[in-house]
Amino acid sequence: MENHTTDRPTPSDASATTPTPLAATSRSSVREQMAFYANLTPEEHAAMERERDRAIAERAERYRVEDAAAKQRQLLRVLQESVGKRYHDCTFDNYELYDPRQKPVVGQLRDIAAGVSEWTRAGRGLILYGPSGTGKDHLATALMLHAARECRIPCIALQARTFPFLPFEEARLIIDHYSRWELAVVTVIDPGASTEFQTRLLGNLLDIRYRRQLSTWLTVNCRTKEDGQTLLGTAIFDRFLHDAITFYCDWPSFRERTVRRPARPGVPAGGGGGG
């Protein structure tokens, strides 16, 4: 008996035979496509729609991932610019341990790094204070870079001594910019070296971030906690200590050691030093 069935694509090969969009075809091709669709069964139409939806979903997910990656690269560029070239590669591993008092501090900071997402979501603060050259900036930057790279937390770093003398409106712009980041690391200059304007501007910034429950970490060059209170003002300093953890970095200066002995390979310029 002669077979009169026509050859039509099955749902499994529908995607392979899907014609090009009508707008990109000639008049004869349009007729061919119309005939092609007219011969499809409901099951084949459904299969083609599923394939179309799958392709659209895959494309949307690819765009989402690419967009997220681009935003992350931009955030990292901003962060690296804010920390400066000296601190681009700071990690806990390349922080040089040369005094027994360093090890427990670094160990606790590693523990914070393991849960830094929860730490910042809770708006918790962190203070590293002590004499200049003990590596406070290195440690704070290592923790911040981990938060940015591994947990994708938007971070910014700033040094209080860079606050210029500005009219009130421009000062408000500075405060507004730095009070929006989920995490901010602030390097505070030595007591007595800051101007009244810089102290007031820094106090306003810390107060706003505290009220918004945004995580702020400080590195402070001071000999005692009392010096920190003098620098920031007792009210701001005491408020900042609420729900924050403090580390007293009272070991000898790394920079003084490097004058006598070169830093080991792999340690960034300034080594475990910095603030």
- Just give the CATH number of 84-260: 3.40.50.300
pLDDT at 13: 46
Eight-state DSSP code of residue 87 = G
pTM of the model: 0.65
Q: Where are the domains of the chain?
A: 9-77, 84-260
Going by pLDDT thresholds of 50, 70 and 90, the confidence category of residue 94 is: very high
pLDDT digits (tens, 9 = 90+) for 176-208: 888 888 888 888 765 555 566 667 777 788 888
Measure the CA–CA gap between 231 and 233, rounded to whole angstroms: 6
pLDDT value, residue 12: 43
Say if residue 115's pLDDT is above 60: yes
pLDDT tens digits for 45-57? 788 888 888 888 8
Cross-strand bridge partners of residue 184: 156, 216
As a whole number, the mean pLDDT across the chain is 75
pLDDT band at 85 (very low <50, low <70, confident <90, very high): confident
| CA–CA–CA angle 183, 189, 193 (5° rounding) | 150
Task: Report yes or no: 270 and 97 within 8 Å, Cβ to Cβ.
Answer: no
